A and B are shown apart, each in its own frame.
Chain A
Amino acid sequence: MSMTFIIDALVTVIGITTPILLAASGELVVEKSGVINLGVEGMMLVGAIAGFAVTFETGNPWLGIVIAMLAGAASSLIFGVLVLSLGANQVATGLALTIFGIGLSSLIGSNYVGIANDPLDSPFPDDLAKDAFWRIIFGHSPFVYMAVLLVLAIGYFLNKTRAGLVLRAVGENDFSAHSIGYPVIAIRYAAIAFGGAASGLAGADFSMVISPLWAEQMTAGRGWIALALVVFAGWRAGRLLAGSYFFGVLMALELYAKASGFAIFPSQFWAAMPYLIAVIVLAIISSRDGKGGKAPACLGKPFIPNG
């Protein structure tokens, strides 16, 4: 096995991991604040069409990325208003957001079918990525670097900053956070919008890098894998990074095994693996860390001040 082969395989792994990592990072922050947003898939699709359409209309992919994030955040705020200001059920609202995102993106996207943009390439000069070894560092789309930086920044934010501590406090015990004067609702709004922006960015990775075109429901269920990964990671940023790449390796391994003529397991087993492992890990961390595990204590519960 040559060096080039391994590096090319790693490039595949990084490519399929990146959008999931982006979306999962955003959802991690949302869940840490005590809110569960099941609308990831819908927000990703809104980001995907926004990124593609803006890039196509303006020719400026960076503007496309910014608008994709804004579009993701805007759609997440529909969810935010409903669950935070109007006290609606989070699970149902998240599911409705997914339906909304699929519908809206398909409607806007019907004007962009059959069109291609140029893929967004590495932000570094080509010469840097010429050599196989350096390609692994300099040869990726901007999304790859953004994903890694994002999850590291989230880890730092949650564990090392005061603001991160407050966010976690809001997710662990909203009433006491409220009683000592933290604006619980405002903090959750910010977390939800951040999660929406990250999902929008993840969606744009699909429509700008992975396959620079628009097609209905092109994210093909990756939003649900992102939700599974947050669970798998036990709500920790470091583990999320490692866990996402682990699943990226599994996904690539399936393809390599098939293309080389091996069928170690039925392919459905590979596809079910992220979810199976997430459930198993959930059980393990919960039993080790006591009841409730590492899940934020207020996850999914409505908070109504003065209620």
Chain B
Amino acid sequence: MRLRLEKRLEPSRRMLVLTPVLSVVAIMLLGIVIFDGLGYDGQQAVWELFFTPVLDAYKWRDVATKAAPLIIIALGLSLGNQAKIWNIGAEGQYIVGAIAAAGVAYSTQSLSGFWIIPLMVLAGMAAGAAYAAVPAVLRTRYGVSEVLSSLMLVYVSLQLLSYMVTGPWKDPDGHNFPQTASLTDAQLLPHDIWDSGIPPGLLVALLAAAIFYVIVSRTVFGFSIRAIGEAPHAARYGGFSSDGIVWATLMISGGMAGLAGVFELMQLGRLNLGYPSGYGFTAIIVSLLGRSHPIGVFIAGIVLAITYVGGQVAQTVVHVPNATAGLFQALLLFAILASDLLVRYRIRFSIKADPLTERGGA
């Protein structure tokens, strides 16, 4: 008997939904074995990792706080993914967005007014989009791969952040520690809206998911993106050139990353060296895990946030070391990435290799 892969004519919708679920279940089972093997209570560790954040209402706010930036960034990335334009520098655009918002905060320290927060948001989005414009120019004018250029720019942004918080924007009352001054009340949103436990970032994520849903499924632009992704050499779709799509998707994803950066800045309350926490990279995984579909991305963002929060719970309750939680997350990602195969292929078992269909497939 041998295993044979057969390409599906259409990606399986059922598998599209089923595989991430199956992956999570498989990794839970594997996790029990691994944690037991390492000398921890495997069942409890997996319980804390996956279920406590869901079942303990007290943890919902933490999950929402973690999920919001992941979803916002991943939504932006999902458009590019569909057009096969890979912006992997979202972390950089996220950082630059926060820097720009911190710049607004820096120059409005003594001011008050309802306009300050919108200005911070605008500045962050504009800065993120502008930073993503660099790979867009390089790609459309010189044919430079956006994968490499956007990645390189992440590391430039980290240094820019370090320069700003150790130099020009260092808090004069901060005992000379490398950080900006705290945001003032006029520059902060409440941590949760109307005491509902919902952080403002999640509300934005929810709104953005709805908007992206409309864009993707109801507009010519959304159609063009998919068309370009499927047939990149075709010249024009619905009036959008392929260069236009590159620009649009990169600028949108940069702007969304910048937006996430602003909200995270408001969470932390100031900019410091500890600010970058890799949301921009994790969001790439979120957008793929969510199949680049707004609803999928929203769910995927929540799932990854659960593993983060669960990892912390497992640390405090089962004393699983931090490294193990990270390793576990990597295994989950591997499983999800591997299970992608089932979406595009059917696995067939055959008793004997049939020479006629052997090379067949689709």
Contacts and interface: CB of A to CB of B under 8 A. Distances in A.
A and B touch in the complex (CB under 8 A): yes
Contacts of A276: 152, 156
Contacts of B281: 95
By size class, the interface of chain B is 35 or more
Contacts of A221: 155
Contacts, number: 155
A269 B145 CA distance: 24
A70 B30 CA distance: 25
Given A96-B334, A102-B326, A291-B142, A91 B88 contact: yes
Contacts of B153: 275, 279
Contacts of A287: 141-142
B361 to A, nearest CB: 4
Q: Which of A95, A100, A103, A269 has the most CB of B within 10 A?
A: A103
A82 B337 contact: yes
Nearest to B167: A266
A219 B344 CA distance: 38
A99 B330 CA distance: 6
B314 to A, nearest CB: 13
A290 B141 CA distance: 10
Nearest to B338: A86
A96 B285 contact: yes
B58 interface: no
B193 interface: no
A283 B142 contact: yes
B330 A100 contact: yes
A86 B144 contact: no
Interface string A79-99: 001100011110111011101
Contact of A227 (B7, B142, B151, B334): B151
A306 B7 contact: yes
A208 interface: no
A208 B361 CA distance: 49
- Interface majority SS (helix, strand, loop, mixed), chain B: helix
B7 A300 contact: no
Contacts of B328: 103
A298 to B, nearest CB: 11
B190 interface: no
Contacts of A227: 148, 151
A282 B324 contact: no
A283 B88 contact: no
Contact of A92 (B38, B158, B288, B327): B288
Contacts of B337: 82, 86, 88-89, 92-93, 96
A87 B330 contact: no
Interface in A6-45: 36, 38
A59 interface: no
Contacts of B147: 36, 91, 299-300
Contacts of A56: none
A272 interface: yes
Interface string A293-307: 101000110001011
Nearest to A102: B326
Contacts of B326: 99, 102-103, 106
B304 to A, nearest CB: 12
A110 B321 contact: yes
Contacts of B329: 99, 103
A278 B326 CA distance: 30
Contacts of B155: 221, 224, 228, 272, 274-275
B159 A291 contact: no
A231 interface: yes
Given A106-B326, A268-B160, A283-B144, A275 B152 contact: yes
Contact of B143 (A96, A293, A307): A293
Given A87-B344, A92-B333, A92-B337, A104 B162 contact: no
Given A268-B162, A272-B155, A286 B138 contact: yes
A91 B166 CA distance: 33
Nearest to A266: B163
Contacts of A278: 148, 152
Contacts of A292: 143
A165 interface: no
B54 interface: no
Given A78-B334, A282-B138, A283-B144, A268 B163 contact: yes
Interface string B274-308: 00000001001100100000000000000000000
Contacts of A307: 7, 361-362
Contacts of B145: 295, 299-300
B361 A269 contact: no
Contacts of B86: 91, 300
A17 to B, nearest CB: 18
B352 interface: no
Contacts of B159: 268-269, 271-272
B361 A283 contact: no
Interface string B344-362: 1000000000000001111
B99 to A, nearest CB: 13
Contacts of B149: 279, 282
Contacts of B323: 102-104, 106-107, 110, 216
A291 B139 CA distance: 9
A104 B284 CA distance: 22
Given A89-B288, A96-B285, A99-B329, A272 B156 contact: yes
Contacts of B322: 106
B152 A103 contact: no
Given A228-B152, A272-B160, A293 B338 contact: no
Contacts of B142: 282-283, 286-287, 291, 293
14 contacts: A78-B334, A81-B338, A87-B341, A87-B344, A89-B340, A103-B325, A106-B321, A106-B323, A268-B162, A269-B163, A282-B149, A300-B86, A300-B147, A306-B361
Pick the 3 closest A-B CB pairs, nearest first: A103-B327, A106-B323, A291-B143
Given A82-B334, A93-B337, 10 more contacts: A82-B337, A92-B284, A103-B325, A104-B327, A266-B167, A269-B159, A272-B159, A282-B142, A283-B138, A286-B143
